[in-house]
Amino acid sequence: MNQVNTLVKQTWAGLRVLLVMTVLLGLLYPLAVWAVARIPGLAGHAEGSIVTQNGRAVGSSLIGVDPVPADPAHDPWFHTRPTVAGPGMPSGASNKGPYDEDLVKTIGERKEAVAKREGVTPDQVPPDAVTASGSGLDPDISVAYAELQAARVARNTGLLLDRVKQLIEQNTSGAGIGVPGVDVLPLNLAVRAAAGGAH
């Protein structure tokens, strides 16, 4: 009889803990997180920092997505850093070191491709144009990489080069630890608006 009483007490204690933890962690905690996410100034971050244009979501200010031109020969877009993430793959680094032969070869191929696209020599291509970041989804590029692309963007949009450089400057901020960076999505949206939305 004593064992039955002990079993009943332990079962009831376990059920009480289960009930309390369910209320705390299954109801109150999610509600608290939701309420904090509604605080003015945090709501946009909590919802993914979505960038909208004309009431339509066009991307996130936190995730770099490289635009794919309809006609690569007349590419009007600024491009992000390369990514190792592919369709259905999570973001992340390749985990390859600077002495990995495959990585060195890939970087060489990227450098040749960017140099050809921008009409420059490979030694003029900045490092962030050919190397992926830790996440593989950086929204920012270096000012040097943006300026390298400016002439092509101006040529293919019909904008004056000075206007394109002005747009680069307007979309440059401190990215990372005080290093100036250019946010590619707002820059491309600004280029599109300046060109009359033709692209």
What would the pLDDT profile of 95-126 be if each residue is shown by its tens digit? Answer: 677 788 888 898 999 999 999 999 999 999 99
For the chain, percent of residues with pLDDT exceeding 70: 85
pLDDT (0 to 100) of residue 136: 66
pLDDT (0 to 100) of residue 133: 75
pLDDT (0 to 100) of residue 186: 93
CB 159 within 8 A of CB 106: no
CB 190 within 8 A of CB 170: yes
Round to whole Å and give the CA distance between 189 and 199: 10
- Spell out, as residue ranges, where the chain has pLDDT lower than 50: none
Beta strands per DSSP E along 26-184: 50-53, 56-60, 140-142, 172-175, 179-183
Describe the strand order of the beta sheet including 179-183 as a list of residue ranges.
140-142, 179-183, 172-175
pLDDT (0 to 100) of residue 90: 57
